[in-house]
Chain A
Amino acid sequence: MAGLLEQIDPLKAEAREAFAAATDLPALEQGKGVFLGPEGRFTALMKQLGSLAREERPAAGKAINAAKAELESALASRREELELKAAQPQNPSDFTAPGRRRALGHLHPLTRVTDDIVKAFRRIGFAVADGPEIEGEYHCFDALNTPKDHPARDSQDTFFVDTPSRPLLRTHTSSVQIRVMEKQPPPIRIIVPGRVYRRDNADATHNPTFHQVEGLYVDRGVTVGDLKGTVEFVFRELMGSDTKIRFRPHYFSYTEPSFEIDFSNALVRKLGKDWLEIAGCGMVHPQVFENVGYDPEVWTGWAFGFGIERIAMIRYGISDIRLFYENDVRFLRQF
């Protein structure tokens, strides 16, 4: 029988080979048992230590332990290799295959535009107000200084409700100006997004109902300059900082002076136009103030209004207003 010390290295080499040859974790664990387990061959070698001379025992024991430690580390690294191998999916993932999607809904484009408008106004201190869609002639026309025989009052242009008081469907959000001023003392700083009604048959640019935003500011010493400054601010927020704004004198019964607002930016130029009409505005007519009990000598103010669909159509390049109300999901998902 060869000397104990001579047996260590061959056994170690044999164990290394066995570990390397193990192709899976159970085989490796089995190999571990054969060499390093309680019944294993290194244990057996250890048991032979007693047969050595007392002075030889420490060196031999040390050599066996060193070999065992070396093997433990070889075992660990082999185990890691095999564990990694075992964790590999049976088939590789196809990272190009479509992912499992969670549905996320989309807000209606009119909601988005309305909220952007609201955000722009809120940055400069405006609060959102609201009023009824079924209105009386007083709030929709009389109080706004609309001439008695104005065509808008006609059943040709405006919807009337078939109830005893024969109310109408508001033709503009300006009716809310009156309602708010009747209830609140000045100063006033509101915007009113909402639905309005005109008796137009639906086509690419008309729908019997559509949305407007009204802005009203009443305070001491409000000027045309304030009106211009605010309109320019809001439209730059909405349509981009390259937006140019132009005011043209115009006529509305409830403002004086009155203006129409044109805007221009890259989108407008893409349409082949220099200017696009976008809104109407003006200084609140003294008669309107009188109608709500404000003293026009103390208070001045401006109001403006524009169509939300129109802004959305320009912003998103939508050419048919009916798309907003058809709610085709392929349309809705684009916003």
Chain B
Amino acid sequence: MGILMAVLLLTFWIIGMAVSDREMAEPISGPPYAPPSSEYLLGTDAQGRQMLPLMVWGVPLTLRMGLIAGSLGLLVGTILGFAAGYFGGLTDTIIRSLSDVVLTIPALAVLVVVASTISADGLSVESMAFIIAALAWMWPTRTIRSQVLSMRERDYVDVARLSGLNNFEIIIKELVPNLLPYLASSFVGAVASAILAAIGLEALGLGPQHEPTLGMTIFWANYFGAVISGWWWWYAPPIILLIWLFVTLYLIAAGLDQWANPRLKRVTQ
């Protein structure tokens, strides 16, 4: 089901890209405040952005932010998780303490401060992703560490060690392949979390203000009072698309989780 929803989203994007150009998603490309019509299928906003092209171009930008931030967060979390779980001792203590401490800090507050001060020239989609990634590594670190703690005691790891493989080889050749399904499902979850963080920042006006992302669309809808004025075509499309995106990612992650966790599969069967 998740794959099917992803395919439908992809189809929407491909067809949309084929029939619209980026300029239609930018200000003064249509009349201001136009409701949905045959000419402007999803209407326009106060500044003349056409909502349908805005959705077409906004989804990949939002996804790109999530993918970059999720990938970086998971990559850092994986490295730290493997280091802490496999080597244990002082390394584990330092990494575990660090991630536990950072987890207690309210991420949104930190992100708001960082996003509002980090760039004098305005945030790009990429710099926004880096900011989010800076606080997206702790959960992967903890969960992967716990997986590695369990795996390193397995017989096949002992056999590999007796066979003369060094620590690095054991991690790369024995542990990582066994953890790949789990990493894959974690990746999808990390992307979803990163998108959620990005939307939160953007809705506060701290995103890449010139880019037609879904979060910035919500920001401008809020700024111009779309809800109290009843301009539903302005805020409903990005929210529906975000719901679609999150449900898609959730279903994909759930499917991957079943694949990664045979016991879960038996329960659901």
A binds B: no
Mark A residues whose CB is within 8 Å of B.
none
Mark B residues whose CB is within 8 Å of A.
none
